Amino acid sequence: MGYAHLSFTAVSRIRSSMLIVHVHILVKPESVEAFKKVTLANARASVKEPGVVRFDVVQQQEDPARFVLVEVYRDAAAAAAHKETPHYPIWRDAAEPMMAEPRHRVTSIMCFPKMKRGKRQRWGSR
């Protein structure tokens, strides 16, 4: 979702209030494929939410039973709204029994890239 139609000030405000959540999940080895299936369905529904900027599902190469969900929300209210959607409890109830241990959540705020007046910076730009 782009910000081209917004002013510099509006974009700066949005980026500074963004909430980034990394959810670390260890899945039972026999449940990896089933977990991926329900998690990808949840991610596809999540990216359609108005307050979701990104929703990435990342699987570790060295240990395919380890996943990180990288969730980027416009703000804390959007993160809270995500948990009220019809698809979230479906994912939670299906995925939790597949987990080898309780999932671990880490919340962060955007530090880089910073917005510069007159310049648009994209993810990963310097």
- Residue-wise pLDDT for 28-69, tens only, equals 999 999 999 999 999 999 999 999 999 999 999 999 999 999
Q: Which domains does the chain have, with CATH numbers?
A: 8-109 (3.30.70.100)
pLDDT category, 111, cuts 50, 70, 90?
confident
| Single pTM value for the model | 0.79
Whether the pLDDT of residue 106 is over 70: the answer is yes
**What is the average pLDDT score of the chain?**
85
Distance CA 86, CA 48 (A): 12
71-97 burial string, b = 16+ CB within 10 Å, else e? bbbbeeebbebbeebebbeebeebbee
Q: Which amino acid is located at 75 in the chain? A: D
Distance CA 101, CA 126 (A): 37
